[in-house]
A and B are shown apart, each in its own frame.
Chain A
Amino acid sequence: MMIGKKPLIQVEDVSFQYLVNKDEKIPVLKNISFNIYPGEYVAIIGHNGSGKSTLSKHLNGILKPSQGEVLVNGMNTKEKRLLKRIRQEVGMVFQNPDNQLIATTVEDDVAFGLENTGVPMDEMESRIRFALDVVGMSEMSKRAPHHLSGGQKQRVAIAGIIAMMPKCLVLDEATSMLDTYGRKDILKVIRKLNDDGMAIITVTHHMSEVAEADRVIVIEGGNIVLQGTPREIFQKKAFLQNIQLDVPAASRIAELVHHNHANFNPEIIHSYEIVNEVKRLLKGGENEWR
């Protein structure tokens, strides 16, 4: 479906190792290649230490590959003078909501990235208003960060990125320190951004978030071990469990029911699909469901 479209981010044969000292290196990524296309929603999953977070930090040049290349809109992240433009194309939100906000009020914080890129004043104001509107934080624009909840802080962090109008948003476990409500809010915002055409790359281990994505990349030991739609991925339950990954609850339930009732669709990944499936079978007139 992406044929003919130019990739937004090209990861070409990327390897990365941390240097412990002169002789000792710890390899984290090994010969990874993939493309991200404009408007795509991609989830990168893997257990702790699999290298998924390191990989995400390569996407906007925070880390540079030891071998191979990362190209953002054709710009190589290894070129220092392009970094500013690369980071305007690919924005990034991190894990800890407390450690990302810089200024003492919400609107000043959203302005930070715009000030750095030299956006003129008049445009800045409308962009800040727009960004805070998208994340639903306009009413709190004068608040201090420490008067916000975790989810609200994370929404402000996202607004700070949106204001810079990137083509792609990378979320590096951005929901992992939030409660259920905070997470739901963030997911809603992400959905909206993706619907408006922004590419989303989310690094996560919450499987219900993975189900939202168009495409899933599974990382294990610094390699891509699996790639596909969430539905395809979650069918390989045994394989995922083997690399310490789970499948969404809905998927487990569907499989369990399928075991006892063969015509129950086992490929379900969303909880609402279970309801629909039950309704379908009830309408279908099969005796054992009556």
Chain B
Amino acid sequence: MASQFELTRNITIGQYIPTGSIIHKLDACFKLLSFTIMLIAIAICGTYFGNIVILAFSIALFMLSRIPIRYGLSGIKPAIPFVVILAILQLLFYGSVASGGTVLVKSGFILITTDSLRLVVVSAMRFVEIILISSVLTLSTSTTELTHGMERLLKPLKYIKFPVHEFSLIITIAIRFVPTFAMEMEKLMKAQASRGAEFGTGQWWRIVKRTKDMFPLIIPLFNSAMERAEDLILAMEARCYTPGEVRSNYKRYHIKVTDIMVLLFSILFSILILFYPFPY
């Protein structure tokens, strides 16, 4: 019962694990870019061998970042039922779409070919790879670095009048206030519970009731969010914030050789994976 009110303890926005590895020291901007390139490669690559190489590579990334692999595996666990259901559906119904290769099973509407089997295995592998690689990214980069990196990546969009800075400021403030609201929620839950309110005690299928239970929390939470927003605006204005104006930036980035190497490496790696004639 005690854990029912402990929301702040479970907050894992940015599960940053500082180990000081080479991967941690990379520029977030380049990390994001390399991540995106790898993601594209994973999405396109459809060979067994290619995916085995990528899988081995993503495990190697974990070792390189000196983060225990169980953090990555714990991310895979909740996805397993999803992957299994998807695999079964693909196995049963994709034979007619990916009909290349030799026919393995054909009975009634079920058609399994070597190609459709490949699709099943490869998409399961893709899932694991994507989860592992994105875990490395979020585990080795703090949220602040990520938002800064994103801001710099989006910078070219300024030329089409996209409010890049405002966008990243919104994200920063949102991240900044998550723990604050979690604490507030905790307080509200305790206050309401001490006056006899019950949360999460209804049966799980009574969705309407369980939703209604949350109203006495959500409405005051919204109310206080509005108040906080007003205060925040005053504080920002008092510190000379004027939307849309030119600002200088505290963080200056020195692009290191390793950053460029990593980017080049991920491009080369992706090209290799996509175009190397793997036998299977």
Contact = CB atoms under 8 A, between A and B. Distances in A.
The size bracket of the interface on B is 20 to 34
A96 to B, nearest CB: 6
Nearest to A128: B250
Interface string A85-102: 001100110111011111
B240 A94 contact: no
A121 interface: yes
Interface stretch (A40-48, A71-79, A156-164): A156-164
B232 A100 contact: yes
Interface in A173-212: none
A108 B250 contact: yes
B231 A114 contact: no
Nearest to A92: B238
Interface in A96-119: 96, 98-105, 107-108, 111-119
Given A108-B250, A146-B180, A84 B242 contact: yes
Chain B interface mostly helix, strand, loop or mixed? Answer: helix
Contact of B231 (A94, A104, A119): A94
A116 B247 contact: yes
Given A94-B234, A146-B183, A116 B239 contact: yes
B179 interface: yes
Contacts of B179: 144, 146
Interface string A126-143: 001000000000000000
Contact of B240 (A99, A103, A104, A113): A113
Interface in B150-179: 169, 172-173, 175-176, 179
B246 interface: yes
B175 A157 contact: no
B250 A161 contact: no
Interface string B234-258: 1111111110011111111000000
Nearest to A146: B179
A285 interface: no
A121 B172 contact: no
Contacts of A99: 227-228, 231-232, 235
A121 B252 contact: yes
Contacts of A117: 240
A111 B169 CA distance: 13
B36 interface: no
A124 interface: yes
A265 B152 CA distance: 66
B181 to A, nearest CB: 10
Contacts of A111: 250
B238 A62 contact: yes
B228 A98 contact: yes
- Residue of A114, A116, A160 with most partner-chain B CB within 10 A: A116
Given A115-B248, A119-B248, A101 B176 contact: yes
Nearest to B174: A104
A62 B237 contact: yes
B143 interface: yes
A154 to B, nearest CB: 12
A114 B252 CA distance: 14
- Residue of B169, B237, B239, B245 with most partner-chain A CB within 10 A: B239
A266 interface: no
Given A105-B144, A146-B180, A121 B237 contact: no
Contacts of A91: 238-239
Given A96-B231, A121-B249, A146-B179, A116 B240 contact: yes
A29 B246 CA distance: 36
Nearest to A60: B238
Contact of A87 (B172, B232, B239): B239
A57 to B, nearest CB: 8
Given A100-B235, A102-B172, A146-B183, A87 B249 contact: no
Given A104-B172, A118-B246, A84 B235 contact: no
Nearest to A109: B176
Given A99-B227, A99-B231, A128-B250, 14 more contacts: A87-B239, A87-B240, A91-B239, A94-B238, A100-B231, A101-B176, A107-B250, A111-B250, A115-B249, A116-B245, A119-B248, A124-B250, A144-B176, A157-B235
25 contacts: A62-B237, A87-B237, A87-B238, A88-B240, A91-B239, A98-B228, A99-B227, A99-B231, A100-B235, A102-B176, A102-B232, A102-B236, A104-B143, A104-B172, A105-B144, A107-B250, A108-B144, A114-B248, A115-B249, A116-B239, A116-B240, A117-B240, A118-B248, A146-B8, A160-B239
Interface of B: 8, 143-144, 147, 169, 172-173, 175-176, 179-180, 183, 227-228, 231-232, 234-242, 245-252
Among all A-B residue pairs, the 3 with the closest Cβ atoms: A99-B231, A111-B250, A113-B239
